[in-house]
A and B are shown apart, each in its own frame.
Chain A
Amino acid sequence: MRALHFCEACGKVQPPTPVDYFTFFGLPRKLNLDVAALDKDFYELSRKLHPDLNARAGSQEQEWSLQQSSLLNDAHRTLKDPIKRTEYLLKLEGVELEEQSKAATEQARSTGQAKKQIVPPDLLEEVFELNMQLEELRGLKKMGEDDPALIEEIGRQKLELEEKQDALLRELHGHWKMWDAMIQREQNGQPVSDEERKQACKRMIDVLNRRNYIRNLVRDVSEVLEN
């Protein structure tokens, strides 16, 4: 199917080339993606590259098959999920999420403390209050006690946060459209300025950082509620 991964003529697995995930699947760096087509490609490539189906090949080919199929799986897993896809593309463009930034990692390593995320300013009050309520509930649970009203209140806030998450995803989809249009212009031969690119990335990273923060918070809430 693609000379990239195996020889068209004899079907043997080729050595993997260090390509990004979009190139691996022969896709442009656009954010809207036909997931069904991606899956279909994935299964077809699996049939060619998987170690199980190359088990009788020479050891060099078997090694390539192992590398190629791990690349295939990593690429598929990343591109299939809309958030991972966006994060990956941004990484390719040289922009990193707060959580994963080298600066945060290095700071954590040197201070010995877990990485902290910056609270989105407009959520400061909500987050502060919610964290207090979670602490209270944790304390109660430790003593084997209960507070239905508190649980209901926390549950309500969790729903609100989940709605915010969904809204942010819709916002992200809007940014996707703009990005894809920009890439399409580039493909058509019209130049795109570095500034425009950077701005487009910044908009998306902001949305993702906010959404990730809320996602982590929802996770913390769920943990307290369920245990």
Chain B
Amino acid sequence: MSSDRIVGIDLGTTNSLVAFMQGESPVVIPGEDGSNLVPSVVALDQNNQPVIGNAARNSLISTPDRAVYSIKRLMGRGIDDIQEELKYFPFRLAEDLQAGEVLRIKLGDKTYTPPEISALILRQLKRNAERFFGEPVAKAVITVPAYFNDAQRQATKDAGRIAGLEVLRLVNEPTAASLAYGLDKKQNGIVAVYDLGGGTFDISILKLHDGIFEVIATNGDTHLGGDDIDNLLITIALDDIQGDLGLDLRRNAEAVQAIRKSVIEAKIALSSQPSAKLDVELPGGKRYLREITREQFEQLIQPIIDRTIGPCKQALKDAGLKPEQIDEAVLVGGSTRIPKVRALVKELFHREPHTGLNPDEVVALGAAVQANILGGGSEATENMLLLDVTPLSLGIEVAGGVTDKIILRNSTIPASATQHYTTQVDGQANVAIHVLQGERELAKDCRSLARFDLKGIPPMAAGMARIEVKFLIDANGILNVSAREQRSGKEAEIQVQPSYGLTDDQVESMILDSFDSAEEDFRQRQVIEARNEAETILAALEKGKKSPAWGHLTTDEKKKIARMEKSLVAVKSDEDYPAIRKAIDELNQGTTRLAELMMDSAVSVALKGKTMDEADMGEGPTAPHPMAKAEFE
């Protein structure tokens, strides 16, 4: 198979997944533990080695100062943006953080930036994929909330790079979900995708026609999700405990995490049961027991889910559509399992929402479809094309602290705008530009995207220079800037000071650290897996020698097999992967006829009296040789 595999990755607030296009349909690649979801939890074990996913979840309660969850909430953000988050999430920040710089959080004694933490999750997914395919994976499509701004997108790309992945495209989550939906349904129409995840909310309205997935309008809230519901319940529990037992456990990290675990279990149970229990063991041997009914739960969370109404109405308005004109409302994200949320969607869009797709997996599946399209497409995707939009208006700060919008929100991307600047002073060599994202009139109310310094303007009288600056939002929704002084034709050098982001150099240095160990890990794993394969084939050969089929081989064939067996035994304890591989392949080849003979007799024995379903014919990419699979006693 091609070593140019491109996988689709959903890097979620709560869970992450990796998927690929298998024939006509996308499928999720499971982890070693067999589960499709990798919790977006990272912890450091006692040796300061990173632990990711399910294995890290227990650390949240046992060693909370060495574990972190919901890191997506910190991506592309600065200290001023996350004050709300700091109230409810146990993020331990480095002490010397300044406004405008990238965040750093502490895990044990070490500090990490959010892209580095995300990179660890991505690396885990990369490994899962490599284990599944038995070959390296270096390219991916990664999804982001549609409402993510430029800094948040750049941080996601940086995370991919740090993890050793070439991120071919960032795809908006609702758009990805629509791909999975559209591949499934193959119908034209207008679709509203309501995506309520762990930390972010997106609403996108798309027109599907003849394989084109065209986003008409998108809106959302990047500070809204299931986490907020959890935090509300945790606060109530903490208040309860303080009131009833006189214990203030707010500062007790272990207790808070234990409460959180219980709250999440209760929340999930309430989607299918009329009531649930919060049951937590507290420090000092006490126990917190509280029953919560679905009615109480729904009343509590109403203000939170009501926050999704504004963005939905705005998106419909921007699209110039009424709810009746929507053909289908698609639900995405774990939080859409809550019955009250479904009821709200039904009310907003005047129809029963579509629940046929797994809300946890649909985004990753869609990313896999996009990965397939980027890789050249296949029969299933040959007519498909995504036309997405930028969610936020792009503006320049002009005199008076006002934003001059140059690219409006919901413009199809790639999109560009050109502006002309000149110099105020004789011989002025650079011009400063402040770029913003957002809908407000004043620059201070918008999101600072970056400050650009155009340098190297040839010396001229004031007002003579004519600098053409081109702002281009690419297919990832990320801004690219180029500038040219038109009189001289000189390309101006642009220095970008990203707000809340990493510079290229910083990312580079992070890659090397990660890459070295990843490369080494991969080689180690390859050797281990080859050794396992060697053991399997040698064991099967032993069985083969005892089978009647052995007697059918010529003396020459038996001698040849014996020689290859000896070679493999000799080389398998070495670290030399190519040598082990060669020996395995040779032995495989040498025993092909034996395998066929055994297969014939085994199959006829096995199928006597069994149906096709009952007979285990074996499958899976890790043990391709028939001799290794057949286990008929």
Q: Which residues of A contact B (CB under 8 A)?
A: 43, 46-47, 50-53, 55-56, 66-67, 69-71, 73-74, 76-77, 105, 108-114
Contacts and interface: CB of A to CB of B under 8 A. Distances in A.
B564 to A, nearest CB: 40
Contacts of A56: 374-376
Contact of A53 (B373, B402, B411, B472): B373
Given A50-B475, A53-B373, 11 more contacts: A47-B385, A50-B387, A52-B370, A52-B373, A55-B374, A67-B472, A69-B475, A70-B414, A74-B416, A108-B398, A112-B399
Contacts of A77: 411-412, 415
A108 B398 CA distance: 9
Most buried by B among A55, A69, A105, A114: A55
Nearest to B413: A73
Nearest to B373: A52
A55 B168 contact: yes
A71 B414 CA distance: 8
B409 to A, nearest CB: 12
B416 A71 contact: yes
B388 to A, nearest CB: 10
Nearest to A107: B399
A73 B399 contact: no
B475 A73 contact: no
Given A46-B212, A46-B385, A51 B399 contact: no
Nearest to B171: A52
A53 B370 CA distance: 10
A73 B385 contact: no
Contacts of A43: 210, 212
Interface in B320-373: 370, 373
B400 to A, nearest CB: 5
A71 B370 CA distance: 23
27 contacts: A46-B212, A46-B385, A50-B385, A50-B387, A52-B169, A52-B374, A53-B373, A55-B169, A55-B374, A55-B376, A56-B375, A66-B474, A66-B475, A70-B414, A70-B415, A70-B416, A70-B473, A73-B414, A73-B415, A74-B415, A74-B417, A76-B412, A77-B415, A108-B400, A110-B399, A113-B399, A113-B400
B386 A52 contact: yes
Contacts of A74: 415-417
A70 B402 contact: no
Contacts of A113: 399-400
A73 B415 CA distance: 6
A46 B411 CA distance: 15
B168 A46 contact: no
B421 to A, nearest CB: 10
B140 to A, nearest CB: 13
Interface string B467-494: 0000011110000000000000000000
Nearest to A109: B399
Nearest to B441: A114
B15 to A, nearest CB: 26
Contacts of B399: 108-113
Contacts of B411: 73, 77
Contact of A70 (B212, B398, B400, B472): B472
A117 to B, nearest CB: 14
Interface in B366-423: 370, 373-377, 385-387, 398-400, 402, 411-417
Contacts of B400: 108, 112-114
A110 B411 CA distance: 31
Contacts of A108: 398-400
A69 B375 contact: no
Contacts of B377: 53
A69 B416 CA distance: 10
Contacts of B385: 46-47, 50, 52-53
Contacts of B413: 70, 73
B412 A52 contact: no
A130 B234 CA distance: 51
A201 B387 CA distance: 35
Contacts of B412: 73, 76-77
A101 to B, nearest CB: 13
Nearest to A55: B374
Contacts of B212: 43, 46
A51 B398 contact: no
A53 B412 CA distance: 16
A153 to B, nearest CB: 25
Interface string B413-445: 111110000000000000000000000000000
Nearest to A102: B420
B398 A109 contact: yes
Nearest to B209: A43
Q: Which 3 A-B pairs have the closest CB atoms?
A: A70-B414, A55-B374, A70-B416
Contacts of A105: 398
B414 A51 contact: yes
Most buried by A among B212, B370, B373, B475: B475
B373 A51 contact: no
A81 B413 CA distance: 17
Contacts of A71: 416
A14 to B, nearest CB: 16
Nearest to B475: A51
Contacts of B474: 51, 66
A88 B386 CA distance: 27
Interface in B145-184: 168-169
Most buried by A among B210, B212, B373, B415: B415
B398 A52 contact: no
A70 B414 CA distance: 5
B212 to A, nearest CB: 6
Interface string B449-475: 000000000000000000000001111
Nearest to B211: A47
Contact of A69 (B370, B376, B398, B414): B414
A79 to B, nearest CB: 13
Nearest to B474: A66
A114 B416 CA distance: 24
A108 B403 CA distance: 13
Given A73-B412, A73-B415, A66 B373 contact: no
A66 B212 CA distance: 18
Given A46-B212, A66-B474, A73-B412, A114 B373 contact: no
A55 B414 contact: no
A110 B144 CA distance: 41
A109 B402 CA distance: 11
A51 B171 CA distance: 13
A110 B462 CA distance: 14
A114 B402 contact: yes
Most buried by A among B210, B373, B414, B473: B414
B483 to A, nearest CB: 15
A66 B210 CA distance: 23
A151 B374 CA distance: 54
A77 B376 CA distance: 28
A141 B402 CA distance: 24
Nearest to A76: B412
Contacts of B398: 105, 108-109
Contacts of A67: 472
Contacts of A69: 414, 475
A142 B59 CA distance: 50
A106 B473 CA distance: 26
Nearest to B386: A52
Interface string B204-224: 000000101000000000000
